[in-house]
Amino acid sequence: MLGESMEFREIAVIGLGYIGLPTAIMFANSGLKVIGYEIREEVVEKINAGRAHISEPEINTLLKRAVESGNLRATSNPEDIKGKDAYIICVQTPLKSDGSPDLSYLESAVDTVAGAMEKGALIVIESTVPPMTTLRMAERIKRATGMKAGRDFYMVHAPERVMPGRIFKELVYNSRIFGGITPDGAELAEKLYRAFVKGRTFKTSSTVSEVVKLMENTFRDVNIALANEFAFLAHQYGINVFEAIELANTHPRVRIHTPGIGVGGHCLPKDPHLLLWPAREDFGLIRLAREINDSMPLFTKDLLFSALRELNIPPGEAVIAVLGLAYKGDSDDTRNSPALAFVDAIKDDVGEVRTYDPFVGGTAGTLEEALEGADAAVIATDHSAFREINWDEAGKLMRARILVDGRHVVERPPRGFLFKGIGRGDL
Ligand code: SAJ
């Protein structure tokens, strides 16, 4: 068996993206020697210069400290990661166009580690993966090196749960799960992460850990779909779904989510598919929830077109200002953004689409530019700035005054506007 008194001195983090880089920084600033392996040369150079390629509060300060202490270095040379005590794999696991998982990044990272690791190494996969993938990756290493997980090295799945914008706090204080192919692997991983994790830690098997991560995001996706279905019903019953949700959530054991223009990001739209992918059969709820959430941009289009009809504005002549492109408020991330799906859904059926997003940019450089002469404004992202808009002033810029709220940003319909909001069956 492997030595029990393993002390971690030097570790490698494979993949320096929005999870890998903060994780590498946390380990380095906790005193470990960290080599970050990254195939994108330009990212390696930026990191070694103490400049982060991702936007996250505090990251540049913390990165500079890690690099200047000599504890963190980035490289794209696999030779530099040979013989480390631990390898932490944080690479993306996107979906292919047919909806199946693309594990090529993970397989390539595992192959790189297989070529560098020595006996006794701990390998941690942080990536979100289909159930049983960690076991398959251990087999992949055995085929390449003859080394067996549990006997010659440790293999663990340890998913992250951080929310962009709060990554460094959540890396420290969120609870953490370590799923080992063998229990001693989970023990060792827990010991390694205690370098900075202050939250509660739990140990289990690698497959349970993989399923837990996918259940968390699937739970959220299904509950958002339920909230969206409540919004559809609110339109049929002539009520304000947000008033109803607020009242229902006064129940001690009810937590209804928020209806909106859709579910974006690179996690929720993908993870339910990863959860179901190896299953021999499923029962439909999880897939149906995905369909409901993916239908929300079209539902928002229906609200817009019903407003254009009420004002007898031919859609083909209408100028539409879409406010927000990011998948969620105060973020610049547009991955799988429902706002982009909405722009796609209307662009061939209206006269002109203008887009404005304070974090992402857009065809209009300012809100005023987007609204000048527009017939309708559609709020597609819940950026805080959009809650401050003075619609009396904004309305003066517009040709017609239609406001469609896709993210429950506007509480009361502004004076002089034809207002439509998802779930606002009361209007
Ligand atoms: N959304 C709604 N209604 C809601 C909540 C969210 O429509 O009530 C929408 C958002 O606008 C956004 C999408 O869903 O478009 C996803 O939002 P999110 O708040 O879930 O954000 P993510 O995807 O950045 O983060 C999730 C988090 N998972 C959970 O909260 C269970 C985060 O903790 C995970 O670490 C992350 O996925 C991940 O990386 O898996």
Q: Would you list the DSSP string of 380-421? A: -S--GGGGG--HHHHHHH-SS-EEEESSS--SSPPTT-EEEE
Q: 107-135 pLDDT, tens per residue?
A: 999 999 999 999 999 999 999 999 999 99
Q: 86-106 pLDDT, tens per residue?
A: 999 999 999 999 889 999 999
**Catalytic residue chosen out of the listed positions 33, 84, 203, 213:** 213
130 and 274 part of one domain: no
Q: Residue 389's domain is classified under what CATH number?
A: 3.40.50.720
Task: Output the pLDDT for position 1.
Answer: 38
CA distance 225 to 300: 15
Is 228 within 8 Å of 296 (Cβ atoms)? yes
Is 263 within 8 Å of 338 (Cβ atoms)? yes
Dihedral, CA of residue 403, residue 392, residue 319 and residue 334, to nearest 10: -60
CA distance 63 to 69: 10
Quote the tokens at residue 38.
């990254």
Atom of ligand 1 nearest to the CA of 265: 23
Mutate to test the pocket of ligand 1, among 171, 214, 215, 220 (most ligand atoms within 8 A of CB): 220
67 and 189 part of one domain: yes
Burial class (CB in 10 A: 0-12, 13-18, 19+), 174: middle
Quote the tokens at residue 57.
């509060």
224 and 187 part of one domain: no
Residue type, 34: V
Does residue 216 lie within any of the structural domains?
yes
Mean per-residue pLDDT for 354-360? Answer: 97
| Catalytic residue check, 46 | no
Does the pLDDT of residue 419 top 60, yes or no?
yes
Does residue 145 lie within any of the structural domains?
yes
Does residue 1 lie within any of the structural domains?
no
Distance 268 CA to ligand 1 centre (A): 6
| Catalytic residue check, 267 | yes
Domain count, the chain: 2
Does the pLDDT of residue 222 top 80, yes or no?
yes
Strand partners, 153: 149
- Domain edge (last residue) among 199, 229, 262: 199
CA distance 266 to 236: 32
Is 130 within 8 Å of 275 (Cβ atoms)? yes
18 and 114 part of one domain: yes
339 and 419 part of one domain: yes
Please state the φ and ψ torsions of residue 42, each to the nearest 5 degrees: -65, -30
Ligand 1 shell residues, CB under 6 Å:
128, 160-164, 216-217, 220, 224, 257-258, 260, 263-265, 267-268, 327-328
Task: Output the pLDDT for position 407.
Answer: 98
138 and 252 part of one domain: no
322 and 232 part of one domain: yes
Q: Of all residues in the chain, what percent carry a pLDDT higher than 90?
A: 96
Q: 306-319 pLDDT, tens per residue?
A: 999 999 999 999 99
Task: Output the pLDDT for position 2.
Answer: 45
Task: Output the pLDDT for position 7.
Answer: 85
Task: Output the pLDDT for position 164.
Answer: 86
Does the pLDDT of residue 259 top 60, yes or no?
yes
The strands making up 418-421's β-sheet, listed across from edge to edge, are: 352-356, 319-323, 376-379, 402-405, 418-421
How far are the Cα atoms of 158, 211, 218 from residue 186, in angstroms, in the given order?
9, 16, 24
Does residue 116 lie within any of the structural domains?
yes
Does residue 2 lie within any of the structural domains?
no
Distance 33 CA to ligand 1 centre (A): 33
137 and 221 part of one domain: no
Angle at 136 between CA 134 and CA 142, to 5 degrees: 105
- Domain edge (last residue) among 171, 199, 227: 199
Mutate to test the pocket of ligand 1, among 217, 257, 296 (most ligand atoms within 8 A of CB): 217
**pTM attached to this predicted model:** 0.94
Nearest Cα neighbor of 320 from 384, 364, 385, 381 is: 364
Does residue 5 lie within any of the structural domains?
no
Q: 194-210 pLDDT, tens per residue?
A: 999 999 999 999 999 99
Does the pLDDT of residue 4 top 90, yes or no?
no
300 and 331 part of one domain: yes
CA distance 5 to 12: 20
Does residue 359 lie within any of the structural domains?
yes
Angle at 117 between CA 111 and CA 122, to 5 degrees: 100
Mean per-residue pLDDT for 3-7? Answer: 63
Quote the tokens at residue 163.
């929310």
Does residue 4 lie within any of the structural domains?
no
246 and 272 part of one domain: yes
Residue 34's domain spans which residues? 10-199
Atom of ligand 1 nearest to the CA of 216: 31
Considering only CA atoms, which residue is closest to atom 14 of ligand 1? 263
- Domain edge (last residue) among 149, 178, 199: 199
Mean per-residue pLDDT for 287-293? Answer: 98
108 and 237 part of one domain: no
How far are the Cα atoms of 19, 54, 57, 95 from residue 22, in angstroms, in the given order?
6, 10, 11, 24
| Residue for token pair 């166009």 | 97
| Residue for token pair 């370590």 | 178
80 and 47 part of one domain: yes
